[in-house]
Structure 1
Amino acid sequence: MAHPGTTMAGDPRPIGVFDSGMGGLTVLRALAGRLPEEHFVYLGDTARLPYGTKSPDTVSAYALQATHLLLGENVKMVVIACNTASAVALDALRGALAPVPVIGVIEPGARAGVAATRNKRIAVLATESTVRGGAYAKAIHRFMADAEVTQLACQVFVALAEEGWTSTRATAAAVEDYLEPLFARADAPDTLVLGCTHFPVLAAAIQHHVGDAITLVDSAETTAAAVAEALAESALQAGVGRGPQSIRFFATDSPERFARIGAIFLGSAIEDGAVTLVDLKMA
């Protein structure tokens, strides 16, 4: 049966993407590149970031408010471009939003980490909440039961990324402080999963510190592949000939700052006035 808004030529409705802030724009970038026929609505809850230090109940409540707004924009699928929200709220969101498909970033990232490791030692760099819940370790062990997983909470990385400090002395110092003890061990991992969507903008600084022999895994591309697969399975593809791709942006605080710093994550400029300010508590 056709979904609302669907025609025989495809489903033109947008895909909704949300994050606590701007980190999810790295996922949006991968999605837009892989799915040029699709349209997107992105919501960054910039007024309430970071999610990584909040309780699971608070994160779940915020995530439900965010997805409520996206549903109001008639999205056909929701992508949780936030590792913390994916870790604690994915099941609740799938239940609340059914039959709208909901895709998280944890499982694609875990799958990519398992595919990359050679010594079965994988480190996950994430927020406090994601580490506390152990979602990555559980997902990795589903794919590789004998993997040795080290989880490391790198909360300062979120603040650095949100400031656009991708290659400063402060960034280099934070990377060294977090990672030096991990790689001073004889049984150091050979794979680092960037378990927060803010962290890819710090990838160059992280790679410089750990060296090229260590594989960095960014779940954005793997998540984009999972979304493409889910669209096909649900017959929700937009189809060809839908005109130029469109992306609409919403933020819960400072649209001007979102556009300025967000361009670093998105990899392209966000035009002045392109970001709409919203209040999720009123959504």
Structure 2
Amino acid sequence: MQAKANIGIFDSGYGGLTVFRSIANKLPQYNYIYLGDNARSPYGDHSFDTIYKYTLECVEWLFANDCELIILACNTASAKALRTIQQRDLPAMYPDKRVLGVIRPTAEVIGSFTSSKHVGVMGTRGTVNSKSYLMEINKFFPDLKVYQQSCPMWVPLIENNAHLQPGADFFVNEYCEQLMQQSAEIDCVLLACTHYPLLLPKLRNVFPDYIEILTQGEIVANSLIDYLKRHPEIEQKLAKDGDKRFYTSGDPEAFNAHASIFFGQALKSLKM
């Protein structure tokens, strides 16, 4: 039987495209479907139950479109919906399919990027309030001290293409200063939102040179490579035509106009 399954990449909006870009660069042979829930984005300030409901609906849509494996390329969805989906929904309804997130792969490696053992995590309110990074990092590196900072204005700035304008400097500086006030020993900062890599030019100007700024794209891509090696029963089902399809719950024209700054090239999406 010819392999026909896709890898699904899900995000509440555009940010997951930064992760998808890294995955597609490292694993170009597979077929992918990207789904952005732009009509209901951003997820960061929604309740646990709402984020779970939205995420499960999108996961089920991707399953219905022949996705065998789904990456939640969204920190908020990974923090607030992944565990329930993995432990309750998959065993009951989709026992042969898999859903992975972005928090655990990052937590598994973050300790190798710090000498001081003081690390900062910058994310949405939803991700920070879930304390998912605190719990996951503690499993792998219990000696690390983790300081969190929510950055509620960053996603709206990025989504409105205002993130590199001078007016964004106030909010970039404010959140970075609030993080560093928690500990002067921080030498590694994780951008725990897939939108935030677009702020790297400003962040590198704000943080001292000795601070390592981590983005998640390459980390998640390397973790997926390892996962597929360890799970040939999944890998063998995946089609290898190098096909990429993009869908949005919002307006495809608006998605197409904005998505290229995240994905690095022009793309054409369809309505979910």
Relative to the length of structure 1, the TM-score reads 0.89
Task: Establish whether residue 57 from structure 1 lines up as the match of residue 55 from structure 2.
Answer: no
Gap change, CA 1:48 and 1:240, over 3 Å in 2: closer
Residue 21 of structure 1 corresponds to 13
Task: Establish whether residue 191 from structure 1 lines up as the match of residue 188 from structure 2.
Answer: yes
The number of aligned residues is: 266
Residue 60 of structure 2 corresponds to 68
Measured on the aligned residues, the alpha-carbon RMSD in Å equals 1.9
Residue 251 of structure 2 corresponds to 254
Task: Establish whether residue 276 from structure 1 lines up as the match of residue 237 from structure 2.
Answer: no
Task: Establish whether residue 35 from structure 1 lines up as the match of residue 15 from structure 2.
Answer: no
Residue 109 of structure 1 corresponds to 106
Q: Residues 167-178 of structure 1 correspond to what in structure 2 (within 5 A)? A: 167-178=164-175
Give 1:93's aligned amino acid: I
Q: Secondary structure at the match of 2:66?
A: coil
Q: Secondary structure at the match of 1:30?
A: helix
Cα distance, 1:24 vs. partner?
Answer: 0.3
Residue 148 of structure 1 corresponds to 145
Gap change, CA 1:185 and 1:145, over 3 Å in 2: closer
Percent identity of the aligned residues?
Answer: 33
User: Can you give the 5+ residue segments of structure 1 that lack an aligned partner in the other structure?
Assistant: 1-5, 279-283
How far, CA to CA, are the matches of 1:185 and 1:265 in structure 2? Answer: 31
- Contact 2:5 2:237 survives alignment (8 Å): no
Task: Establish whether residue 96 from structure 1 lines up as the match of residue 104 from structure 2.
Answer: no
- Contact 1:105 1:219 survives alignment (8 Å): yes
Residue 69 of structure 2 corresponds to 77
Residue 177 of structure 2 corresponds to 180
Question: Once the two structures are superposed, what CA deviation does each residue of 1:46-91 show, in whole Å capped at 9, x if it has no partner?
Answer: 0111111000000000000000110111011000000011011112
How far, CA to CA, are the matches of 1:168 and 1:238 in structure 2? Answer: 46
Residue 3 of structure 1 corresponds to none
How far, CA to CA, are the matches of 1:177 and 1:241 in structure 2? Answer: 46
How far, CA to CA, are the matches of 2:138 and 2:108 in structure 1? Answer: 10
Q: Secondary structure at the match of 2:46?
A: coil
User: Can you give the 5+ residue segments of structure 2 that lack an aligned partner in the other structure?
Assistant: none
Task: Establish whether residue 166 from structure 1 lines up as the match of residue 163 from structure 2.
Answer: yes
How far, CA to CA, are the matches of 1:206 and 1:137 in structure 2? Answer: 23
Relative to the length of structure 2, the TM-score reads 0.92
How far, CA to CA, are the matches of 1:82 and 1:59 in structure 2? Answer: 11
Task: Establish whether residue 224 from structure 1 lines up as the match of residue 221 from structure 2.
Answer: yes
Cα distance, 1:234 vs. partner?
Answer: 2.1
Of 69-78 and 210-219, deviating more is 210-219
